[in-house]
Structure 1
Amino acid sequence: MKNKLTRIICTTLAFGFLALPSAQAAESEFSLDRLVITALRAEMKDLDTPASVTVRTGEELKATGALTVADALQFIEGINMYSQGPYGQSAGRMSSEIVIRGAKKGTLVMVNGAPVNMNGLFQLDNILLENVEKVEVIRGAGSVMYGSEAFGGVINIITKKQVDNSISSSIGSFGRHSHSLNLQAGKLAFSGSLVEGGETGNVTSTSTKYTNYTGSEKISLNGAYRFTDKLVMNYTHSKDDINKEDISLSTNNRQQYSNDQESVDRFSFQYQDDTLLANVYGAFREIDYYTRNNDGSVPLPTMGGYPRKADVHTNLKTAKYGLDTNKQWEVRNNKYLAGITLETEKYEQNKVIMTKASAPASPVITNQQTGPFERNVIALYTQATHQIDDERKIILGVRGQKTEAEQGKEYTQLLPQLQYNEKIGESSSWFVNIGKAFRLPTLTEMYVTSDRFTGNPNLKPQSGWSYETGWKKQIATGAVKATYFVLDMNDYIETDSTAAKMYQNFDQYRNQGLEVSWEDKLSDKFSYTVGGVVSNPQAYYNRNWSRLYSRVQGTLGLHYTLDKVSANLSANYITDRANDAPPAFPVSLTVNYKAQPETTVFATVRNVLNRHDVTTESTPSSMSGYFYGAPRTIEIGVKHSF
């Protein structure tokens, strides 16, 4: 029955897109040569940028049916999104993972140029697409311009400085409903949302248990204040509350109940004119993770007459704040850039463990504190661009960085980069990009020991080289791109095969592959994007070459409009995966109907094929089971502008 229903849905979608007659242009803008800011820290057309680049507007990302950045990125070619919660949602100490070019913890994520990675993690499920102007994805090493964690790629989320006044509300499957409000009041832009979800069953599977999500609530608030055309403040606050339970496969009883409460705050003050950029930023995350065991024999909610909310309460605090500023100038045919970054990162963990004593029958409370740990970074970077002639240019960059950590640990890096770009006629270009990259070990990998892993204060940074060459072609109504890349990193950081699972530096990580994309607008009615990646990510791990992540990915996006109706189908196929994970094929469909000029009714179907797709993937030794995506969900709502 399930396979028959899937075939019916696929057939209906195919005929629906083919049968739609002539219509007006799509609401989202289609540009032949989009402007890119992130790659070279200066605004430049894609054809003039010596890097593999994808730019998506907020409207294009919303057309995937996603509410947040985390849920939308999976439909961009070359990005693998791995989630340990439904809809890309973070869950307690776990966070969604974004992987570019198979590089574990090798993607630097920024919001308005300010890094948001904290302790190797980022929470993109709290950034609303309603508040996003565009997202720039730069594949390949970006360490010279942006430092650690950028050896696989950089994602820069650029938020709106002005929003449209609107309110929206929707209801959906499994008790899921969402509500949002956007307001523009003079120089102040505000966006807020509330998303609640009901029970989502069987989202993990191991040999002994499975996990159900029994309810969640997410509040997200975003604000931007434009003091002047050059000075803007951005602030984001989010709060999550998630409940889940582990069910025994042998007894079908609840083994463990947990409640995750997470809050994230981010801010940035950004000044920018024609030649100067200064960004003061901060990101702060706090998690309260409550765990309560229950094998059916211990009455709840008391133990020995003592009221208890949890057997274990873990509180985690991470923070990152800093200053990044650079100056640009031009002399004859040469452009120069010089900048400095000052940054501090902190981590602290407190755990309260409650156990039952035999006599007297009252709980024994144990307090454990880890940290606080801190490290400081100072970096100088510079870049020189020489325009050889009208078609050719060469770019030289270098970064010097010093990091001071606990116990007197110091790391220094000197990172060079060479880029070359050549225009071939008016509509195509060829580029070469060679750069050295690195990743600092996280504070957890160095100092934190738990029941899952052991920290190692003697870890060295990963470092190595990234090589790529690519071709871009603007056709009459679209663009074609192809990039071949090689990534070779030493001192790969991963846990060893001992019972303690201590983090170690292993010999090597490597990957090479081909990325292709084709986007075209066939008419005022129909446009599409097609992308694909074939690669072979591997790590020399415990004396063997081990597979990492997937080898093959293909993405598809179709957009069609018919008078007041627009429809968007997004799909991402991932196969030849690590950890014996089966192929994944998330498909999303969104339909909008403009009932009035100010009112739009929308319907979104996520996981159209109702697949039980695995949403996590890593080396076999680091995973004992699978995490699964949510089943098919249907959401219907209305948006009103005023």
Structure 2
Amino acid sequence: MNQKVKYAALGIALACTGWTGASAAEVYELNPITVTAQRMETTDLKTPAAVDVLTADEIQKTGATSVQEALKFSTGIIMHAQGPRNISQGTMTNKAVIRGNEKGTLVLVDGVPINQEGRYNLEDIPVDAIEKIEIVRGGGAVLYGSEASGGVINIITKGTRKNSIKAGIGNYGIQNYSASAQAGKFGITYSYDHTGKIDRISKATTPSGKQRGSSPDGGMYYNIIRGEHSNVNWRYNFSDELYFTHTYGENSDHYRYKYDGHAYAPNKDATFKDAIHSTRENLAQLHYDHEDFKASIFYNNRDQKTEDWIADQKATISKKTGKLSYSNAAKFNSAVRNYDYTKYRNQTMGLDISNRWHFDKGSFMVGYNFQRDLETKTTSPIYVGGYTSKEGARHKYQRNMHSIFGQLAYNVTQKDEADFNFRETWTEDDSAGNGYDKFTPEVTWTHSFNENATLYAKAGRSFMMPTFTQLYGGGNIVGVPDLKPETGNHFEVGFKKNIGNSTWRFDVFHYKIKDHIDADSSEWPTVTYENTDIRNTGVELEWSRRQNENLSYHMGLTYGHPEKKQSKYNNEWHDYYGRIEFNGGFDYTRGKLTTAFNMNVLGDRTRDATPYEHFKDQCFTDLNFSYQANKDARFFLNIDNLFNRHDIVSSSSSSFYNLGRNFMAGVEYTF
């Protein structure tokens, strides 16, 4: 991008602070109420954890059309993606990486986990249905169990909805439409999002290992043909204490893989594969909340299908191992197309119940959680070079998981509180005879200097079980039945202070996770999983200020050292992801016009693949204008990737790029 244009764009963003801004609505509440970290309502200052709260107003000012986009400007979170906006590649969904722990993010909707097989499809929750998002950074969140080794993201939906319709369009074929309505006790929100054709969304992959110069896994680049996401969330409030909510999402993303001709020039830019990834998801929850007694029953269902139309290759498949071997496979025949598919059905059902009792110097909470996980996986025969692999297969797996959890909160003095959290998790033997049993404790201490300053410390353990796919494989994934579960130790010390209209949050953290479950694709297209170790030590600083009713600004800084140790690489620690992250922004209101600017920069990045090379910094920017014409009509313009950067948004061996400068303009009408 021309430097003069870049600086002019930045100048426009900054100059807007002189004549634009956000209504006098609450912007940055200095001490918001949170529920996620402690499983009860506490203020941010009294919570012994690093917590961020994104309100519906703040989400709107990022221009986000999905939770994934809303989180990318948060402190301590790295968005790892295989495509721009809400697009992902089947099982390789976009991830919110907290403190460098890629697989340790537990996502909740209204306090209920939605993770299935390590995936949580953040694009399936309409942002207009969200009241707020609470982010708890740091592992050892034992009150929620497995998969919380990095942190917890709790998406809290609105109890009532405003009656509104919204429409926006932009370049790259971007379209976004949504509608909300409330009728008595029933509220509903619908959203549709579309992205059009995008060429060369990735760098051509490098030919790998023994197949260098011949295998089509090298020299492939990716085009997006289209992405479509349709979601609905509704809620029925039987009473102030009892409500039912349901979310349905239906997504379809079409990728086209083309060859760069590095080993066979006649096939340059020829289509090697068309892949369509589709998902249908249902999340149903019944909640009861009466004072200190809380209960929920839930059912999650995700049907996922990947369909591939692949050019005929000069390759064979071993009848013994099922692995592909190539013989100058770059000479594929794009005129002859073979078809295969993989289908997953993941189901989770269960209940969560807890009660809290209060006494003179504190409280005691105990609860029980039951979760039943089921997976059905179906694969088609694979046709390559006129040879058919072994017949497609259908596999079913299931396991029952039980947990008893609790918390003893004790006021040691008027200024000191000590909490002991615990969770005992065990599983019945699954379909292949695997069973797990783990006790995870956590101890926290909070000292209140006064009503505006606290110091906290915490130490805890985490535990995460392998998924069915990791254990038993499927498609091109080779199962490892003896894969060990992850176990981690986590430590954190933090200081929180409010000064006038400003908030300061500072913490130091360290974790080490043994037997971290990691994918090994060195023998691509075959993928296996292995146990590795990861660790990270770092500091985080956050500051926000509400200057007046019209102007607010905020910033965050994270410096860490995420590392991984793998036995196949001599058990030596190596860096991965990024060491330093900065995020910041402002919003300003003048009259009817609101301007909000957000930025996130990730630097000192290292690939999570040999030779662990450093690569380009990543910078996300967003400029959002909102004009409230009257009490019913709002016009908006959102400009994403303001400086038109061509950044890599993945950290593995493949390089996927963010979308170039894109905009969406539209209108929202409330009635």
Superposed displacement of residue 340, structure 1: 0.5
Aligned to 2:9: 9
Aligned to 1:528: 553
Q: How far apart, CA to CA, are the structure 1 residues paired with 2:110 and 2:474?
A: 34
Matched, 1:224 2:235: yes
Aligned to 1:275: 292
Q: How far apart, CA to CA, are the structure 1 residues paired with 2:222 and 2:310?
A: 14
Q: How far apart, CA to CA, are the structure 2 residues paired with 1:26 and 1:454?
A: 56
Superposed displacement of residue 464, structure 1: 2.1
Matched, 1:340 2:364: no
Q: How far apart, CA to CA, are the structure 1 residues paired with 2:521 and 2:643?
A: 38
Superposed displacement of residue 99, structure 1: 1.0
Q: How far apart, CA to CA, are the structure 2 residues paired with 1:457 and 1:24?
A: 55
Q: How far apart, CA to CA, are the structure 1 residues paired with 2:582 and 2:480?
A: 38
Matched, 1:504 2:503: no
Aligned to 1:620: none
Report percent identity of matched pairs: 28
1:371-382 matches, cutoff 5 A: 371-382=395-406
Superposed displacement of residue 455, structure 1: 1.7
Superposed displacement of residue 317, structure 1: 1.3
Aligned to 2:260: 249
2:621 to 574, 582, 587: 587
Superposed displacement of residue 406, structure 1: 3.0
Aligned to 1:203: 201
Q: How far apart, CA to CA, are the structure 2 residues paired with 1:30 and 1:165?
A: 25
Structure 1 residues 396 and 299, CA, compared in 2 at 3 Å: closer, same or farther? closer
Q: How far apart, CA to CA, are the structure 1 residues paired with 2:228 and 2:23?
A: 37
Check whether the contact 1:138–1:155 (CA below 8 A) recurs between aligned residues: yes
What letter matches 1:244 in structure 2? Y
Q: How far apart, CA to CA, are the structure 2 residues paired with 1:505 and 1:370?
A: 27
Matched, 1:616 2:650: yes
Structure 1 residues 278-312: Cα deviation after superposition (integer angstroms, max 9, x where no partner):
01112111112111123797576xx6xxxx8x611
1:309-348 matches, cutoff 5 A: 311-348=339-376
Q: How far apart, CA to CA, are the structure 2 residues paired with 1:158 and 1:627?
A: 31
1:415-434 matches, cutoff 5 A: 415-434=440-459
Aligned-residue CA RMSD in angstroms? 2.0
Q: Which range moved further: 414-423 or 311-320?
A: 311-320
Task: Give the secondary structure class of the aligned counterpart of 1:446.
Answer: helix
Task: Give the secondary structure class of the aligned counterpart of 2:142.
Answer: helix
What letter matches 2:238 in structure 1? F
Task: Give the secondary structure class of the aligned counterpart of 1:577.
Answer: strand
Superposed displacement of residue 90, structure 1: 2.7
Matched, 1:625 2:654: yes
Q: How far apart, CA to CA, are the structure 2 residues paired with 1:450 and 1:601?
A: 47
What letter matches 1:554 in structure 2? F
**TM-score normalised per structure 1:** 0.93
Check whether the contact 2:601–2:617 (CA below 8 A) recurs between aligned residues: yes
Structure 1 residues 469 and 440, CA, compared in 2 at 3 Å: closer, same or farther? same
Task: Give the secondary structure class of the aligned counterpart of 2:201.
Answer: strand
Check whether the contact 2:27–2:552 (CA below 8 A) recurs between aligned residues: no
What letter matches 2:503 in structure 1? A
Structure 1 residues 408 and 24, CA, compared in 2 at 3 Å: closer, same or farther? closer
1:335-484 matches, cutoff 5 A: 335-353=363-381, 355=383, 367-404=391-428, 405-451=430-476, 453-484=477-508
Q: How far apart, CA to CA, are the structure 1 residues paired with 2:391 and 2:606?
A: 39
Check whether the contact 1:143–1:438 (CA below 8 A) recurs between aligned residues: no
Q: How far apart, CA to CA, are the structure 1 residues paired with 2:258 and 2:520?
A: 29
Aligned to 2:597: 569
Superposed displacement of residue 457, structure 1: 0.9
Aligned to 1:214: 225
Aligned to 2:29: 31
Matched, 1:158 2:156: yes
What letter matches 2:665 in structure 1? I
Check whether the contact 1:26–1:560 (CA below 8 A) recurs between aligned residues: no
Q: Which range moved further: 491-500 or 558-567?
A: 491-500
Structure 1 residues 496 and 182, CA, compared in 2 at 3 Å: closer, same or farther? closer
2:118 to 117, 120, 132: 120
Q: How far apart, CA to CA, are the structure 1 residues paired with 2:139 and 2:648?
A: 28
Matched, 1:20 2:19: yes
Q: How far apart, CA to CA, are the structure 2 residues paired with 1:129 and 1:548?
A: 31
Check whether the contact 1:64–1:72 (CA below 8 A) recurs between aligned residues: yes
Structure 1 residues 315 and 449, CA, compared in 2 at 3 Å: closer, same or farther? closer
Q: How far apart, CA to CA, are the structure 1 residues paired with 2:158 and 2:528?
A: 43
Q: How far apart, CA to CA, are the structure 1 residues paired with 2:221 and 2:26?
A: 41
Task: Give the secondary structure class of the aligned counterpart of 1:5.
Answer: helix
Structure 1 residues 24 and 102, CA, compared in 2 at 3 Å: closer, same or farther? closer
Aligned to 2:634: 600
Check whether the contact 1:370–1:448 (CA below 8 A) recurs between aligned residues: no
Stretches of structure 1 that go unaligned for 5 or more consecutive residues are: 618-622
Q: How far apart, CA to CA, are the structure 1 residues paired with 2:376 and 2:564?
A: 30
Superposed displacement of residue 384, structure 1: 0.5
Structure 1 residues 222-249: Cα deviation after superposition (integer angstroms, max 9, x where no partner):
1011011101111000111221211211
Q: How far apart, CA to CA, are the structure 2 residues paired with 1:437 and 1:399?
A: 10
Aligned to 2:136: 138
Superposed displacement of residue 442, structure 1: 1.5
Task: Give the secondary structure class of the aligned counterpart of 1:554.
Answer: strand
Check whether the contact 1:28–1:60 (CA below 8 A) recurs between aligned residues: no
Stretches of structure 2 that go unaligned for 5 or more consecutive residues are: 207-218, 262-267, 313-330, 608-613
Structure 1 residues 108-130: Cα deviation after superposition (integer angstroms, max 9, x where no partner):
11000000111011101121110
Superposed displacement of residue 529, structure 1: 1.1
Q: How far apart, CA to CA, are the structure 2 residues paired with 1:142 and 1:437?
A: 5
Structure 1 residues 595 and 103, CA, compared in 2 at 3 Å: closer, same or farther? same
Superposed displacement of residue 357, structure 1: 8.2
Aligned length: 622
Q: How far apart, CA to CA, are the structure 1 residues paired with 2:173 and 2:48?
A: 47
